[in-house]
Amino acid sequence: MAKKSAYAAAGVDLKVSNRLKDDLPALLASTMRPEVLGEVGGFGGLFEINTRKYRKPVLVSSVDGVGTKLKVAFAAKRHETIGQDLVNHCVNDIAVIGAEPLFFLDYIGAGTLQKKAFADIVRGFAIGCRENNCSLVGGETAQMPGFYKAGEYDVSGTIVGVVDKSRILDGRTIKPGDKLIGIASSGLHTNGYSLARSILFDKMKLKPSSKLPGLGIKVSDELLKVHISYGLVVQKLLKKFNKGVRKSWGIKGLAHITGGGFIDNIPRILPEKCNAVILRDTWEVLPIFDLLKAKGRITESEMHQVFNMGIGMVAIVRGDDSKGILRMIRANKFKAWDIGFVDSGNRKVQLA
């Protein structure tokens, strides 16, 4: 029997690590845009900006993780949705500025790399990138024995996109009388999991394989639903409704409803002297949120600050364009509703 290397004996087997990465070139190649230069495996990813497409290109970047949703994946031994969650979350974060995603890089840290988990996560990255027309140009995989519990890992991702300087969405033209359109989420997306796990696993004593009372779905199936990407539909909306000068734009601002819910995210795009009024009975609140509220005895205001309540993105739009924008969102197979309006105030969200 061949003797283990000192590094392998210490917990990092480079041969195993390299074998796990055998499928990476094919997966990354499946996401490549024509602007990608060089080969996979270099010290850096190369991407050539198409300067003919943008008069004054501005790069937009974001970095994020998926939070304690990972704890559900560990408990359920399911990892196939995590990569998509991360890509889609990052895409949405730059979509609200009007940016088209260009490329994505990932980080995976683990004590010991597990073949199936690693393959499922990276396959999810590739699926998410392909669906968003975004290149997966590289990443980092770190083995750190003794740093993570057995079977656990952490992931994060960085996305870079581009928007023409004159087309940046910054909310500056938002004013009282504008309407709020909410676009449906698939569930919790990637936020509020610490509270949800406390309610479902600690208070209700459920397991990932348990059926959720009254919902007819397993806990793991509900909590591991993929975070929806709104990137492509946002680009279509901007192309149609944001032509010409800024003051004529139909879409004035977008908010990705992530950590902080409605209460903390919508004010990020409101100008001074404006409030957002949310009319709570105007959309379909997903059953999981009703269950969490009841079993956790959570107030309405806290629910709207922790969870997305079934709305993954909010668009603030010109009243005259709201019906057309709503029709186009629905034509792209998203549920969407008029959920409120802009009023005078001091950059707060009011629940009505």
Which of the four pLDDT bands, split at 50, 70 and 90, describes residue 113? confident
How far lies 13's CA from each of 69, 150, 170, 269, in Å?
28, 16, 48, 48
Burial of 40 (0-12, 13-18, 19+ CB in 10 A): middle
pLDDT at 325 over 60: yes
Measure the CA–CA gap between 196 and 63, rounded to whole angstroms.
24
**Higher local confidence (pLDDT), 29 or 135:** 135
Under CATH, domain 179-351 is a member of which superfamily? Answer: PurM-like C-terminal domain (3.90.650.10)
Total Cβ atoms within 10 A of residue 124: 23
User: What's the pLDDT at 217?
Assistant: 96
Question: What kind and span of H or E run contains 199?
Answer: none
How far lies 316's CA from each of 160, 169, 232, in Å?
24, 11, 18
Look up residue 3 and give its amino acid. K
As a whole number of Å, the CA-based R_g of the chain is 22
What's this model's pTM, rounded to 2 decimal places? 0.93
Region 295-309: what's the mean pLDDT? Answer: 96
Region 31-55: what's the mean pLDDT? Answer: 83
Which tokens in the block code for residue 17? 């690590």
Look up residue 174 and give its amino acid. I
In the chain, domain spans: 6-167, 179-351
- Which of helix, strand or coil describes residue 128? helix
- Which of helix, strand or coil describes residue 138? strand
Pick from 161, 177, 140, 173: nearest CA to 33: 161
Total number of residues shown for the chain: 352
Provide CB contacts within 8 A for 297, sequence distance 6+. none
Under CATH, domain 6-167 is a member of which superfamily? Answer: PurM-like, N-terminal domain (3.30.1330.10)
